[in-house]
Amino acid sequence: MTTDPREREVRRTMAARELYSDGAPGLEGLAEERLRGKELADAYNRTGPRDEEGRRAVLKEMLAALGTGVWIEPPLHVAYGTGCTWATTCTPTSASPSSTTSRSSSGTG
C-alpha cells in the first residue's frame, strides 16, 4: 500500500504516461519494484534462443499484459516492466499475407 504522497504522485504520473522522476526522498517504496523489473529483464535476457516457454513465463510475470504470439528479441530493458502491455495483430501485406506486427504500449516500463 502506498502511503507517501510523493510516491502516489509519481505513480499517478506513470499511469498518465507523463514524465516522472523516481529517485527522490520518499520514493524508497519504488526501489524494490524497479529492481524486480530489472531482475526479470535479466532473467529474460539469459534465456536461450530455443527456450520459448521460459521466455514467455518470464514475460508473463514481468508485463501487465502479453498477447498471443508476441516475440521480443533479447536484450530487453525495462525500468519496471509492470506497466507494459504487448499485443499482436495480424496485418496482411502485399509482401507477406501472414505477417505479424507487434505493438507495445508502455506505461511504467
Closest CA to 37 of 14, 53, 12: 14
Q: Cα separation of 69 and 34, whole Å?
A: 26
Name which of 74, 62, 54, 70 is nearest 109 in CA terms. Answer: 62
Q: Is residue 93 part of a domain?
A: no
15 vs 86, residue with greater confidence: 15
Q: What is the pLDDT of residue 109?
A: 53
- CB of 101 within 8 A of CB of 88? yes
> Is the pLDDT reported for residue 98 higher than 80?
no
Given this model, what pLDDT does residue 88 score?
65
Phi-psi map region of 17: left, alpha, beta (phi>0 left; psi -120 to 50 alpha): left
49 within domain boundaries: yes
Question: Which structural domain, as residue segments, surrounds residue 37?
Answer: 5-15+22-87+101-105
What are the backbone dihedrals phi and psi of residue 103, each rounded to the nearest 5 degrees, phi first? -125, 140
Let me know if residue 96 belongs to a domain: no
Find residue 90's DSSP bridge partners: 100
pLDDT of residue 51 exceeding 90, the answer is yes
Residue 104 has pLDDT above 70, yes or no: no
Structural domains counted in the chain: 1
% pLDDT > 90, the chain? 36
pLDDT at 105 over 50: no
- Is 42 domain-assigned? yes
More confident residue, 99 or 42: 42
Say if residues 84 and 104 touch (Cβ distance below 8 Å): yes
Tens of pLDDT, residues 4-31: 899 999 989 988 989 988 888 888 888 8
